Amino acid sequence: MKKNQGRENSPKKLWAGRFSQALDPLVESFTASIPYDIRLLPYDIAGSLAHVKMLARQGILSVKNSRLIQKGLREILEEWSRGGLTFTLADEDVHLFVEKRLTAGIGPVGGQLHTGRSRNDQVALDLRLFMRDQINTLRQDLKTLQQNILAIARKHEGVVLPGYTHLQRAQPVLLAHHLLAYVEMFCRDQERLAEIWNRVNVLPLGSAALAGTTFPIDRLWVARELGFRTISANSMDAVSDRDFVLEFLSAGAILMMHFSRLAEELVLWSGSEFNFVAIEDAFCTGSSIMPQKKNPDVAELIRGKTGRVYGNLMAALTLMKGLPLTYNRDLQEDKEPVFDTVDTLLPSTRLLARMLPRIVFKAQVMKKATAQGHLLATDLADYLVGKGLDFRNAHRVVGEIVASALKNEKELLQIPLALLQQFSPVFDQDVFQWLDLETALARRNTPGGTAPGQVRMALKNMEKKLCRPDYPF
Ligand code: ARG
């Protein structure tokens, strides 16, 4: 049998020395990762540049050949930036593609690049470099979103709306307080991403296939050259570890869940049942049949896309379960979930940051809603406690008052004193001042509460935090 027969259409693979048969064409398309891992090309080249410089420093390669390889790599990067590079499935993955282009460009000396490394440590390096960049971008964009929400909260400092539990009107709160709740969530997301970034920022290169290499490489130099905080301690762990992927996908799922909750409130609030906000036309679309419709699609799709981000985490967790040490080809499946989560999170963050400042918050509608639904019933019970009743008793008395108010379609403030006194003799004229919305809000003066003074302080603290030039790093 002719060696590599049937390879007329598919050029011989770089690894095909020990093979006597061509790949089945279905296998080629099934195993190729290049259609998606091509986006790692700039990182692959950055890693190779550091590697080949180190090889020359260590006398493993001649300085001349190292320079030639560096020039060849830079040319590939330039061609890629110009959009001038095309690949086929036969190129298999980004690593083999770059090496093939390199050898085509500078000749057989390109074959020296792979000295002392393996695709196993190379792919882990590429993914870590990619994720370092993406997490940085995400954190900057998230900071912008946080700042924008903070500015909206400031602008609407006096606006009151019903706070809800069980999606039932519960107690009045300041809109700024409600909005700051999201900024707090995003602060925790920032912290999670910062920690993950630190664990991504470890150099796996130099682990080679699984056991290290026989060449006298200098891993610390490469780590410094590529801006890594440290080097991985165990070569077998380094080529098979994807904890950093799982952590990112998990933090991404939590962040997307936060986006989804915010999106859900926008969907609810923009509907005519709530009518608390108006979303700008630029962020809505119409209906193909109902001419009156203006749908909050961006918010709905952020909510909807949360599903795929959860799915990416599940896919990666399931991928890792049961993998024996060390590298297994299964690991090639780690990249698409990462890419998809990044490609969903970044536009979602940016869209929210653009859409929110252009939303109209309808202060009058919100205020009117706080006047309906007995939102100050808790305050009325607290009033009775102030007059000497125990809270359980006070709760029962106010429950009876609310039942009667509901029957007569009245709000608490509309009940005359004489009637209140039928439920409890301790009611006095001062109860009406007590039930005033402003005084009721001001009473919630515990740290973290919605009293205007507390919210003003919370706004100031958050502003100080977000304005630090080094936030979120
Ligand atoms: N495309 C592969 C991946 O993404 C690169 C590493 C391949 N290593 C190997 N020994 N076949 O995981």
pLDDT tens digits along 335-394? 999 999 999 999 999 999 999 999 999 999 999 999 999 999 999 999 999 999 999 999
Token pair listed for 453: 């003074």
Q: pLDDT per residue over 436-469, tens digit each? A: 999 999 999 999 999 999 999 999 999 999 998 8
Per-residue pLDDT band at 286 (split at 50, 70, 90): confident
Q: pLDDT per residue over 154-167, tens digit each? A: 999 999 999 999 99
Mean pLDDT of all residues in 273-279: 97
The pLDDT value given to residue 368? 96
pTM of the model: 0.94
Q: Compute the distance from residue 95 Cα to the ligand 1 centre, in Å.
A: 9
Q: Is 108 helix (H, G, I), strand (E, B) or coil?
A: helix
DSSP codes joined into one string, 136-189? HHHHHHHHHHHHHHHHHHHHTTT-EEEEEETTEEEEEEEHHHHHHHHHHHHHHH
The pLDDT value given to residue 10? 60
Total residues belonging to the chain: 473
Q: Is the peptide bond before 35 cis (omega within 30 degrees of 0)?
A: no
Mean pLDDT of all residues in 187-208: 98
Q: Compute the distance from residue 240 Cα to the ligand 1 centre, in Å.
A: 11
Find where tokens 């001349």 sit: 64
Q: At what angle do helices 119-155 and 94-106 cross, to 10 degrees?
A: 120
The pLDDT value given to residue 6? 39
Mean pLDDT of all residues in 254-283: 96
Contact, 385 vs 394, CB < 8 A? yes
Mean pLDDT of all residues in 236-259: 98
Q: Compute the distance from residue 89 Cα to the ligand 1 centre, in Å.
A: 14
Atom 3 in ligand 1: residue holding the nearest Cα: 332
Q: Of 87, 88, 68, 90, whose CA–CA distance to 79 is shortest?
A: 87
Atom 4 in ligand 1: residue holding the nearest Cα: 332
Alpha-helical runs (H) found in 274-362: 297-320, 335-355
Token pair listed for 105: 């460009």
Atom 12 in ligand 1: residue holding the nearest Cα: 332
Token pair listed for 187: 């602060």
Per-residue pLDDT band at 5 (split at 50, 70, 90): very low
Pocket around ligand 1 at a 6 A CB cut-off: 33, 37, 93, 119-120, 123, 327, 329, 331-332
Q: How many other CB atoms are found less than 10 A from the CB of residue 304?
A: 12
5 DSSP 8-state letter: B
Token pair listed for 247: 């952590």
For residue 7, is pLDDT > 80?
no
Contact, 203 vs 219, CB < 8 A? yes
Which ligand 1 atom lies nearest to the CA of residue 331?
A: 12
Per-residue pLDDT band at 289 (split at 50, 70, 90): confident
**Residues with catalytic function:** 166, 287
Which ligand 1 atom lies nearest to the CA of residue 335?
A: 4
> How far, in Å, are 4, 22, 23, 108 from residue 15 at the CA level?
12, 12, 12, 15
Residue type, 302: I
Token pair listed for 144: 């912008």
